[in-house]
Amino acid sequence: MKTSRILILFIFIAITIFLLRKEESFQEKFALITLPVKKSYLDVRNSIDNSIEKYLTQSKSITALKEENLLLRKYLYQQKINLIQLKHLEQYNETKFNHFNNILRVQTISYKKLNDFSQVFLTKSEELGEDKIYGLIQKNVVAGIALKEEGLLKGILLSNPVCQFSTFIGEKKTPGIAKGIDAESIEINFIPKWSKIEVGDKVMTSGLDNIFLPDIPVGIVTNILTKSTYKTAIVKTYADVLHPNFFYLVKEVLHQPEDINTSKMKLENNASKEP
């Protein structure tokens, strides 16, 4: 009985060893058979990983290039602005205005509203008071008026109905009050009904409103309307209010004739040098 048990145990051990060897051989053969599949799988996986990494790298590069391009565009835009400002500074030399104090050169900062081209914000507000209306001259012709409100200097151009000042019409200097209509014309109201004014008469500032120097060109009469108690003249203006880059601002109107004439001559000489 004991011998049979030993024999059975021996046979079991032998079978186990045989199976293990077979399994090892089978595993080796299976590994060899599946090796190409595994290699292909690794190649596909590596290719996908490389593609993903390449895509992410390209995406990062594109993002970086876009940011760099945006910065370069901003830089280029700023350089263009600087060039334009330098060009204007060459045309409008600041030092030539230093020899008289009643005329101040101001520059447009921006429009007051994006949909309104008749009002602008101007520089040099710190040099002016808030209790006065100032005249704006573009080159050597009237362009509008200026007011300082809450620390900001606001330019009201001829195209705005709020822009009003006193004028003389024609050689006889018929008085009237100018009022803005649009970018190319204004109306002169309260002209005495008996006045003899004609189409083609030149309109100049009177200087009596303490806004402008006298005899600054405004425009030319294109039409005359007769109302119940006075006449109205429609005037084609000289100023180019759609391009409000720089203005001469009349800080004060001098009442000595010699001083007025001297300032006017200097103003006209400076304006004649501009493009």
pLDDT at 186 over 90: yes
Closest to 137 measured CA to CA, from 262, 261, 241: 241
| Whole-number average pLDDT of the chain | 77
DSSP structure class, residue 58: H
* pLDDT tens readout for residues 154-182: 999 999 999 999 999 999 999 999 999 99
Residue in the structure block whose two tokens are 């195209």: 159
| pLDDT, position 234 | 96
d(CA 99, CA 117): 32
Identity of the highest mean pLDDT range in 44-48, 78-82, 200-204 = 200-204
Q: What is the pLDDT of residue 68?
A: 72
Q: What pLDDT is attached to residue 275?
A: 41
| Other CB atoms within 10 Å distance of the CB of residue 124 | 15
- Output the pLDDT for position 93: 45
Query: Options 3.40.50.300, 3.30.70.150, 2.40.10.350, 3.10.20.90; which CATH number does 95-272 get?
Result: 2.40.10.350
The predicted structure's pLDDT at residue 92: 45
For 109-131, what is each residue's pLDDT tens digit? 999 888 889 999 999 888 888 88
pLDDT of 184 over the 80 cut? yes
**Which secondary-structure segment (H or E) carries 153?**
strand 152-157
Q: What share of the chain is helix, strand, coil (3-state, %, to 5)?
A: 40, 30, 25
Domain ranges of the chain: 1-65, 95-272
More confident residue, 273 or 78: 78
Residue range 125-151, pLDDT digits in tens: 888 888 899 999 998 899 999 999 888
At 198 the pLDDT is: 94
pLDDT in tens, 80-107: 655 555 555 444 444 443 445 788 889 9
Residue with tokens 């402008």: 212
pLDDT of 256 > 80? The answer is no
Given a cut of 50, is residue 258 above it in pLDDT?
Answer: no
Helix and strand tally (H, E) in the chain? 2, 12
Quote the pLDDT of residue 2.
Answer: 54
Contact criterion met (CB below 8 Å) for 186 and 237? yes
- Cα separation, 234 vs 248, in Å, equals 25
What confidence score (pLDDT) does residue 260 get?
Answer: 46
Instruction: Give the tens place of pLDDT for each residue, 207-241.
Output: 899 999 899 999 999 999 998 889 999 999 999 99
What is residue 230's predicted lDDT score, i.e. its pLDDT? 93
Q: What is the mean pLDDT of residues 62-85?
A: 67
Handedness of CA 155, 251, 212, 162 (dihedral sign): positive
With 90 as the cut, is the pLDDT of residue 13 above it?
no
| Mean pLDDT of all residues in 56-68 | 74
